Amino acid sequence: MAETLVKEAAARAAPRPAEADAPSPQAKRGVPVLHSPARPKVAPFWHEHLVPEGEPRIEVSDVQGIVFRGYGSLPACRYVLLQIRDPQAGRAWLRQLAPRVSPGVPAAEQVAIQLAFTHAGLGALGLSEDTLSAFSREFIAGMTGEHRSRFLGDTDESAPAAWDWGGPKTPPVHALLMVYADSESRLLDTLSELRQSWLRHDLIDVHTLHTGELTGREHFGFVDGISQPAIAGYHSAASGLHSVKAGEFILGYPNEYDLYTDRPLVDSSLDRSGLLPLDVEGSPRRDLGRNGTYLVFRQLRQNVPAFRAALEAHSKNPDGSPNAHARDLLAAQMVGRWPSGASLIEAPYHDEASKAAENEFRYQGVDPDGLKCPIGAHVRRANPRDALAPHPGTEWSLAVNRRHRLIRRGRNYGPPLPEGATDQNDRGLMFIVINGNISRQFEFVQHSWLVDPRFNGLYDQSDPITGASSNNQFTVPGNPVRRRCTGLPRFVTVAGGAYFFLPGIRALRFLAESSR
């Protein structure tokens, strides 16, 4: 954490680069620019592409759609992990597929296809060593190195050696094909057609990940996907709390430091057809990263019986009888929200579904000691909002927080477990994060906020939901006495994962061209 703060201070002191909203060369080359500052300023609503003062125009038609939405209208979905065995055939496959990849422009679609590559996958397509080395360090290194596993909490049952895919004992993964459809039958038809194409081009599917029904609730029973950052220049936001600069999620735009997030720039000679935009910062290089981003994928297995058993065990009356209200309150305190989604800041004692959509709350002014929402609750750790030391409750705290936001686009897998039942089914969350800087965003949140036992004044406990210890603790602050739950097992283990690059649409065409 200290190291990151030093880096942040250095970045703040760095000179401000050229403005990104100057007329861009790529706009001149005919890429439709949907955000026009010339459009009238009326009260904006979600999806209305009005550009607030000072925000750059986002080239929505060159960004893959998952950055902007989770395809909730397309409930059927598979994630296919592919391996490319011949660079030339791989590029020919990509030439066929690239035009079908859905851009960010909202459309009434029945099928949507999204495509991302691991670093090994970009190598398998024939990218030169020089170009491959232009990507971010953590993307190049991948998710499974020994140091990284310790840092991310991927130890013991979660160690990559035990993963179903993406680990050292499973076949290399090169590409992630995300296919969404409005019905299972349309999904199967699309997959069968896509499969013929990848097999014809000598790719193999090393693993297919199914997703569950879109219930809106994760398997522990809580509404999920409520709190997301709003991309400035694309989504409108009710306040500055969730509005985050585009460069935090899309490469090639200013980020929360007013700098351009590191991205792969390539020598112009490698792009003879001029497919890629020029570097917006004015170097003679072409920008392979622009309108692309990084996608973190983790298959998180949820042990629902263990979660429910721990809640029962820690919520009994003094005479040993069960106490349903104490159980539900403890679960809500661990998450920081009630099953309906209502925040404990808004509804500290009982679930109040009418408050489920409320997401403008802060912590420091109303609940500095965590008496309503425990300091260690999952949502308070994953996004501390204004509660960050050393200056909680200030704009400084909010500004630092904005540099660690994540867009979550995951889906459940496996069947829900009815209350009172136990079974052996595999279930959990296909956790997907979109971020421009894996190290400063996903890895920081995972390590410094979720896993680190010393988060924000605590000293002996990691996140109660995703915690990386098989002997975790959870403290519910109280006046006059706090409550401690000890001996909590891991409720969530990692079953697979990888870091991917989600290219922009033009970058996909560049990758499909001849080797470079």
- The residues that touch ligand HEM, with contacts defined as CB under 6 A, are 218, 220, 222, 224-227, 300, 302, 335, 337, 378-379, 382-383, 406, 428-429, 431, 442, 445-446, 450, 465-466, 492
Task: Considering the complex, state which of residue 375 and residue 450 has its C-beta at the smaller distance from ligand HEM.
Answer: 450
Please say which residue, 194 or 429, places its beta carbon nearer to ligand HEM: 429
> Token pair for residue 249?
């999620």
Which residue number places its CB atom closest to ligand HEM? 227
**Nearest distance from C-beta of residue 342 to ligand HEM, angstroms:** 10
- Tell me the closest approach of the beta carbon of residue 383 to ligand HEM, in angstroms: 3
* CA 209 – CA 218 distance, rounded (Å): 17
Measured from the CB atom, the residue of 265 and 465 that comes closer to ligand HEM is 465
Q: What is the dihedral of CA 284, 286, 292, 298, to 10 degrees?
A: -100
Question: At 180, which helix (H) or strand (E)?
Answer: strand 175-181
- In the bound complex, what is the minimum distance in angstroms from residue 302's beta carbon to ligand HEM? 5
Strands, E assignment, 288-328: 293-302
- Cα distances from 27 to residues 33, 35, 60, 514, in angstroms, run 7, 11, 12, 25
User: Under the phi-then-psi rule, with left for phi > 0, alpha for psi from -120 to 50, and beta for the rest, what region is 504?
Assistant: beta
- Identity of the residue, 278 or 332, whose beta carbon is nearer to ligand HEM in the bound complex: 332
Nearer to ligand HEM, 330 or 382 (CB): 382
Beta carbon of residue 84, minimum distance to ligand HEM (angstroms, whole number): 29
Q: How far is the CB of 477 from ligand HEM (least distance, A)?
A: 18
CA distances 20 to 24, 229, 297, 372, 488, Å, are 8, 21, 29, 42, 48
**CA–CA separation, 278 vs 281, rounded Å?**
8
Q: How far is the CB of 323 from ligand HEM (least distance, A)?
A: 22
Respond yes or no on whether the N-terminal peptide bond of residue 368 is cis (omega within 30° of 0).
no
Q: Which 3 state secondary structure label does DSSP give 217?
A: strand
d(CA 463, CA 441): 17
Handedness of CA 461, 465, 470, 473 (dihedral sign): positive
- Please state, in angstroms and rounded to a whole number, the distance separating the CA atoms of residues 91 and 86: 9
Please tell me the distance from the alpha carbon of residue 179 to that of residue 294, in angstroms, as a whole number: 18
Task: Return the HEC string of 265-294.
Answer: EECHHHCCCCCCCECCCCCCCEECCCCCEE
Residue 229 Cβ, how far from ligand HEM at the closest point, in Å? Answer: 8
Q: Output the CA angle 139-296-8, nearest 5 degrees.
A: 65
Q: Residue 327 or 378: which CB sits closer to ligand HEM? A: 378
In the complex, the smallest distance separating the C-beta of residue 182 from ligand HEM, rounded to whole angstroms, is: 24
Q: Which is nearer to ligand HEM, 270 or 450 (CB)?
A: 450
Q: Residue 403 or residue 509: which is nearer to ligand HEM going by CB?
A: 403
Q: How far is the CB of 194 from ligand HEM (least distance, A)?
A: 28
Identity of the residue, 93 or 307, whose beta carbon is nearer to ligand HEM in the bound complex: 307
CB of 267 to ligand HEM, least distance (A): 35
Given the complex with ligand HEM, which of 127 and 494 has the nearer CB atom? 494
Q: Is the CB of 209 or the CB of 379 nearer to ligand HEM?
A: 379
Beta bridge partners of 286: 266, 278
Give the nearest distance from C-beta 336 to ligand HEM in angstroms: 7
- For residues 475 and 299, is the Cβ–Cβ distance under 8 A? no
Tokens of 124: 């398998």
